Amino acid sequence: MTVSPLPRNRRRAPRRPAGYIRMASLVLLAIAPLATGCFKVAAAWANITHGDWIEPQFTLTKAPLLILIDDRNSLVTEPIAMRELHKTISENFLAFKVNEMVVPFDEWRRLAQNDRSYHKYSIRQIGEKLGAEQVLYINVERFTIHSEVGAPIFKGEFTVRVKVLSTDRKKDIRLWPSEEAGKRMSSNTPATSADSEISANKVATELAVKLGKDISKMFYGHRELEE
C-alpha cells in the first residue's frame, strides 16, 4: 500500500533543536532588563521635563474675557492682592496664548465705582456691559495675612471659588466646572515674624501671585511640576 506524501501546506514543521530553544530563552531574558530600563529612562525624562503633561481643565474662547474678582464681603484687607491676582492671570493667559483679550483691571474697577447700579447687576450683566463673551468669576472665600487676628506672625491664606460663565442671554450660563459653587483654590505663605523685613503688602502680593498662577494653569496645558 502506497502512502501519499502530505500536501506541501500541511507538512509538519521542523523540530527546533534544543540549543535553539535555549538561545531564544537567553535572548528573552536579555531583553527583559532593557524593557525595564526603557521605563526608567522614560520616568527620568519626565522628571527632567518637569513631570507628566497635564491637559487644560477647560478651554476658554479667544474672545473678550472678564476676570471678575468678587469680594462682596470685603475680606481682602490689602487692595494690592486684587490687582496682583488679576495681573498674574492676565499675564499668564497672554504668555501661554490662552486669551489675549482680557478686560483691563481698571476698566472693571471704573464700572464698579462709577455705576450706582453695579451691585444690582448679575455676573452675566457685568460681563456684557464690559463687552466680554465669557467671565472668569473668582469669588473670595477667605483672605488673611496673619495666623490669628492681632498675632505678630505673618501667615497668609487666600482662598477662592472659581468658575467660568457665559454672557449669553440664557438660563444656564455656567460653563465650568460641574460644581455649582465653583472649584475651590487656595494659596498660602509660611509663618514669618512680623518683625522681619516682610510686610503685609509683600505677603498679600505673594498670595495673589501664587493663586493667580494656579488658577491660570487650569486653562492651558503644562508639565506637572512647572512653576
C-alpha cell at 1: 500500500
Whose cell is 503633561? That residue is 53
**Mean pLDDT score, 88-96:** 98
Nearest residue to 56 (alpha-carbon basis) of 104, 103, 92: 92
How far is residue 54 from each of residues 51, 162, 219, measured CA to CA in Å? Answer: 9, 19, 10
Burial class (CB in 10 A: 0-12, 13-18, 19+), 76: buried
State the Cα–Cα distance between residues 185 and 157, nearest whole angstrom.
Answer: 11
Delimit the domains of the chain by residue range: 18-48, 54-223
State the Cα–Cα distance between residues 102 and 93, nearest whole angstrom.
Answer: 8
Kindly report the CATH number that applies to the domain delimited by 54-223: 3.40.50
Better pLDDT: 25 or 135:
135
**Mean pLDDT score, 130-157:** 92
pLDDT reported for residue 20? 55
* Model confidence, pTM: 0.77
Determine the residue type at 71: D
How many residues belong to the chain? 227
